[in-house]
């Protein structure tokens, strides 16, 4: 990631016109032909400003921040009543353990023990990371609840302890934990990828979200009634606010993905690519472009080389910029 220009906008009232002028100033400084993608948050003023940008610069596309979008998906999943219920129970277990050093001291003496990841206040992903951490400590926590060291202690007689003990010894609680952790695993992985500086989200975002949807369906054995509450959240957040022609085209044009067994070609993917071809500055000869696409699909000429199949498509460094706000 290269920071090519820094603008202090802390004293700017972020109206649509002010944002548009701010973005346009940076775009002109970098050069409109060198920019293809502007990333902002999803506030209404930014969405309106991006429309003005695309009208003035047809070759520049916009999308909201992928990390923000995934965090909101995780927030919505965490708000589903039965998930909110057992995550609350999980937090009671963590608080109880860490509020009593005598218990924590016993746990820390076990060879398998590592500290439980506790809830953060900013990223909704930490809710599920905490669930995973608690699940990893299942045997240690159950051993503690049944250990004479604990059952003979006065803490074992408290009402709060009885609640925590019933949670830790409840098989349904642990089953809910592992099901939820497996279900959101692909989303957590995608969040880490788009938050990293090393990779461009365009190369991974579409394919990873497709994998996340499929993983959720597989988790519930393709029972529509079971997986719909979760996939509907993805559709509401991702398909409505983030699914863009640029990401679908990147999915199609990534050799490593396209020539893999996992590639799924849908009508909307090719349509997204054709939408980009309609932008004259990106494609000045549609006939030639379509011929090249056909060779690409048929794995002909240079696309048939083994080296091409092993490669993954990447933007030329220094040629095209992403601007993230």
pLDDT greater at residue 1 or residue 216:
216
Q: CA separation (Å) from 211 to 91, 108, 264, 266, 287?
A: 29, 38, 10, 14, 33
Q: Could you tell me the pTM of the whole model?
A: 0.75
pLDDT band of 80, cuts 50, 70, 90: very high
Whether residue 117 has pLDDT greater than 60: yes
Q: Cα angle at 288 between 284 and 290, to 5 degrees? A: 105
Contact by Cβ (8 Å): 124, 74: yes
Query: Which long-range contacts does 190-197 make (Cβ < 8 Å, 24+ apart)?
Result: 190/66, 190/70, 191/67, 191/70, 191/71, 191/74, 191/125, 194/66, 194/67, 194/70, 195/67, 197/1
Residue 207 CA from chain centroid, whole number: 11
The reported pLDDT for the residue numbered 171 is 92
The tens digit of pLDDT for each residue in 162-217 reads 888 899 999 999 999 999 988 898 888 888 877 765 555 566 778 888 888 888 99
H helix or E strand, kind and range, residue 36:
strand 35-40
Distance CA 220, CA 206 (A): 22
Token pair of 308 as six digits: 């091409």
Residue 207 has a pLDDT of 81
The pLDDT value given to residue 297: 81
And the tokens for 200? Answer: 């461009």
pLDDT of residue 76: 93
Residues 141-159 pLDDT 10s: 998 888 887 788 777 677 8
CA distance readout (Å), 291 to 90, 263, 264, 280: 57, 21, 21, 17
Q: Which two tokens stand for residue 274?
A: 């054709």
Higher pLDDT, 122 or 63: 63
Q: What is the pLDDT of residue 174?
A: 93
pLDDT digits (tens, 9 = 90+) for 257-273: 787 777 877 788 888 88
In angstroms, the CA 238 to CA 70 distance is 8
Q: What is the pLDDT of residues 271-313, one digit of tens each?
A: 888 888 877 677 778 788 888 888 888 776 666 666 655 554 4
Transcribe 84-102 into DSSP letters: HHHHHHHHHHHHHHHT-HH
Q: How many CB atoms lie within 10 A of CB 93?
A: 20
């Amino acid at each position: 990631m290269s920071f090519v220009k820094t603008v202090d906008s802390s004293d700017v009232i972020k109206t649509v016109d002010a944002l548009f002028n701010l973005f346009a100033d940076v775009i002109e400084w970098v050069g409109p032909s060198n920019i293809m993608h502007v990333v902002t948050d999803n506030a209404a003023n930014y969405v309106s400003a991006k429309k003005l940008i695309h009208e003035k610069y047809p070759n520049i596309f916009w999308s909201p921040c992928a990390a923000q979008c995934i965090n909101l998906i995780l927030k919505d999943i965490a708000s589903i009543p039965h998930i909110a219920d057992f995550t609350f129970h999980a937090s009671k277990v963590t608080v109880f353990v860490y509020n009593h050093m005598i218990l924590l001291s016993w746990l820390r003496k076990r060879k398998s023990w590592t500290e439980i990841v506790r809830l953060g206040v900013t990223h909704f992903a930490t809710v599920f990371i905490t669930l995973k951490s608690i699940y990893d400590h299942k045997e240690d926590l159950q051993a503690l609840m049944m250990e004479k060291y604990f059952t003979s202690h006065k803490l074992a007689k408290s009402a709060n302890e009885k609640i925590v003990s019933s949670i830790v010894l409840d098989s349904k609680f642990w089953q809910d934990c592992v099901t939820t952790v497996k279900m959101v695993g692909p989303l957590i992985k995608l969040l880490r990828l788009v938050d990293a500086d090393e990779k461009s989200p365009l190369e991974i975002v579409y394919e990873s979200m497709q994998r996340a949807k499929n993983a959720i369906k597989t988790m519930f054995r393709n029972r529509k009634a079971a997986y719909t509450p979760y996939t509907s959240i993805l559709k509401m957040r991702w398909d409505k606010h983030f699914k863009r022609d640029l990401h679908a085209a990147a999915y199609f044009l990534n050799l490593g993905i396209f020539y893999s067994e996992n590639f799924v070609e849908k009508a909307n993917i090719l349509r997204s690519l054709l939408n980009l071809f309609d932008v004259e500055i990106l494609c000045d000869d549609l006939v030639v472009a379509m011929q090249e696409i056909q060779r690409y699909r048929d794995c002909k000429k240079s696309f048939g080389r083994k080296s091409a199949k092993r490669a993954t498509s990447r933007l030329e460094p220094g040629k095209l910029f992403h601007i993230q706000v």
